[in-house]
Amino acid sequence: MSRSQSNRILIADDNKDVLQAIRLALKSEGYQADCVQSPADALKRIQQNEYATAIIDLNYHLDTTSGQEGIQLLEDIREREPDLPIVVMTAWATIDVAVECIKRGANDFLQKPWDDERLIAIVRSQLRLNDAQQQSHRLREENRTLRKNKSAGFIAQSRAMKPVLELVESVADSDASILITGENGTGKGVIANLIHQNSGRKESPFISVNMGGIPDGVFESELFGHVKGAFTDAKENRIGRFELAAGGTLFLDEVANMPLAQQQKLLRALETREFERVGSSRTQTFDARLIVATNANLQSEVEQGRFRMDLLYRLNTISIHLPPLRERVEDIEPLATSFLSRYTKKYRKDDLKISEKALDAMKNYEWPGNIRELDHSIERAVLTTRADEISDTALGLQQSAASPSSSNLDDMSLEEVEAYLIKRTLSRCEGKANEAAKELGLSRSAFYRRMQRYGL
Ligand SMILES: Nc1ncnc2c1ncn2[C@@H]1O[C@H](COP(=O)(O)OP(=O)(O)OP(=O)(O)O)[C@@H](O)[C@H]1O
């Protein structure tokens, strides 16, 4: 549960009567109060629960009035929970103490004896402020996370896509986990999004994570979040993808590329539907629809000991396979037209057309990088064409479709040769990036970086 949804308030004071009185005042307003009598207990509770606000006294022993214990507690709470609203109270309120507390991170100040109305007003305004803060924090994270939706409309007119669309329609509104398979660039991300948009969760976030590129060291923090101070670089609290996806859909792309140790951690969270931010002992419930995608054959990955069978069973309640673009030839022209219209607008080349010859070349091409490759090839052609028609050569397909002849190779730049080799290897490995990387002697992440660079 996020803080903004919590109505739980922590009160710390050594005096039982004070605790009881505040508890009752808050209860009458619908808040649940947890009372503690010492700073140590306050910190313990904060580790265990999600509070909306903490109201803390400054002095915890009858013979002290310096406020030092309270100020220390204030700092200790701030250290652990940078965003938690903290209201400080004391009977010895002076302007100096109040200023000191605010400087050290208190959000407001309440003087004893207090007036219930003022107490409630302070709590309400802190909650409102905190809600707004959390909301903007969440939005920032979401914006960072959501992939840029470049799609100029979803296109699937071919016969090969018909069963896919029917399946999407029939399963979208269930909560079942879905496994989407298909070569790179066939639109697995687009289909995952389409399922989300057609589900009851569409008003909540669609959060996408590329599981192929997460280094081991940050895996848990990326997925489950972390609390400030959990490790050296954890300068702030971080909301993980599991938490961001609350109420919505979590899309895990390239699941076959996760190392076994990461698979184990993911499986645990999916089985229990519970997780904790790194450095926190507070357990949160995972409430998202799960969609995963891969270009590998997970069954054979399991047989070769590279993918956990129990994880596969957890993920593949329903499987959807996306055919490669070369088996969806009827989709090539509408896709090309839609990309053309996007890029002619973007680069202000309104009258540009695609020549018949270029269309034929596209229909006869293998498209190892599928729709993504088509997209990039049209963008490149729009940018480089000076005439009013895109020619077949402007698409840059020849050197990647067939083997370049040696004279051809002489004319190519190092980058072009690299792109060619990557495409050819991908095509030979039926789009399986893992295998292609191995064949070329590249690490998984180095291979992905190059695929990205060449728009594959
Ligand atoms: N049916 C479609 N209509 C229009 N555009 C599409 C369609 N399918 C895919 N695209 C476009 O093709 C590109 C690749 O799609 P997407 O990223 O979903 O593929 P993918 O299979 O998830 O790729 P990868 O395996 O590399 O993650 C995107 O720019 C997407 O907008």
Please state the atom number of ligand 1 nearest to the C-alpha of residue 294.
25
CA 14 to ligand 1 centroid distance, Å: 61
Segment 336-339 long-range contacts (CB within 8 Å, at least 24 positions apart): 336/362, 336/374, 336/378, 338/152, 338/153, 338/155, 339/152, 339/374, 339/375, 339/378, 339/379
Residue 224 has pLDDT above 90, yes or no: yes
**What's the angle, vertex CA 144, arms to CA 135 and CA 200, rounded to 5?**
65
Give bridge partners of residue 355 from the DSSP assignment.
Answer: none
Residue 404 has pLDDT above 60, yes or no: no
**Assembly ipTM:** 0.97
CA 318 to ligand 1 centroid distance, Å: 20
Most ligand 1 atoms within 8 A of CB, residue of 190, 321, 426, 429 to mutate: 190
- Distance between the two ends of the chain, CA-based, in angstroms? 39
Topology of the domain covering 159-321: Rossmann fold (3.40.50)
> Which residue ranges does the chain devote to CATH 3.40.50.300?
159-321
With a pLDDT cut of 70, the percent of the chain lying above it is: 90
DSSP SS3 for 237: coil
Per the prediction, the chain carries an average pLDDT of 86
The rounded distance, in Å, linking the Cα atoms of 341 and 166 is: 28
Q: Is the CB of 67 under 6 A from ligand 1?
A: no
**Which pTM was predicted?**
0.64
The pair of three-digit structure tokens given for residue 66, joined into one six-digit string: 């310096």
Task: Give 119-177 pLDDT, tens digit per residue.
Answer: 999 998 888 877 777 776 666 665 554 443 434 478 999 999 999 999 999 999 999 99
Most ligand 1 atoms within 8 A of CB, residue of 148, 149, 151 to mutate: 151
Write the burial class of residue 307 (CB in 10 Å: 0-12 exposed, 13-18 middle, 19+ buried).
buried
The pair of three-digit structure tokens given for residue 260, joined into one six-digit string: 């076994």
Residue nearest to atom 16 of ligand 1 (CA): 187
CA 214 to ligand 1 centroid distance, Å: 21
**Neighbouring residues of 295: CB distance < 8 A, sequence distance ≥ 6:** 181, 182, 183, 184, 188, 254, 256, 431, 432, 433
Q: Is the CB of 188 under 6 A from ligand 1?
A: yes
> Which residue ranges does the chain devote to CATH 3.40.50.2300?
3-138
209 dihedral zone (left: phi>0; alpha: psi -120 to 50; beta): beta
CATH of 325-453, one of 3.40.50.720, 1.10.8.60, 3.40.50.620, 3.40.50.450: 1.10.8.60
The pair of three-digit structure tokens given for residue 3, joined into one six-digit string: 């803080």
Count of alpha carbons within 13 angstroms of residue 161, beta-carbon side: 18
DSSP letter for each residue of 12-36: E-S-HHHHHHHHHHHHTTT-EEEEE
CA 429 to ligand 1 centroid distance, Å: 19
Q: Nearest-CA neighbor of 184 among 417, 441, 423? A: 423
Residue 332 has pLDDT above 70, yes or no: yes
pLDDT range class, residue 357, cuts 50, 70, 90: very high
Residue nearest to atom 23 of ligand 1 (CA): 185
Rounded average pLDDT over 217-239: 86
Please state the atom number of ligand 1 nearest to the C-alpha of residue 184.
25
Q: Is the CB of 156 under 6 A from ligand 1?
A: yes
**Neighbouring residues of 10: CB distance < 8 A, sequence distance ≥ 6:** 33, 34, 36, 42, 45, 46, 49, 51, 53, 54, 55, 56
CA 308 to ligand 1 centroid distance, Å: 27
Rounded average pLDDT over 292-316: 93
pLDDT given at position 451: 82
The rounded distance, in Å, linking the Cα atoms of 326 and 367 is: 6
Worst-scoring range by mean pLDDT, 47-61, 298-312, 349-363? 47-61
DSSP SS3 for 241: helix
Give bridge partners of residue 86 from the DSSP assignment.
Answer: 54
> Which residue ranges does the chain devote to CATH 1.10.8.60?
325-453
The CATH code for residues 3-138 is: 3.40.50.2300
Q: Is the CB of 189 under 6 A from ligand 1?
A: yes
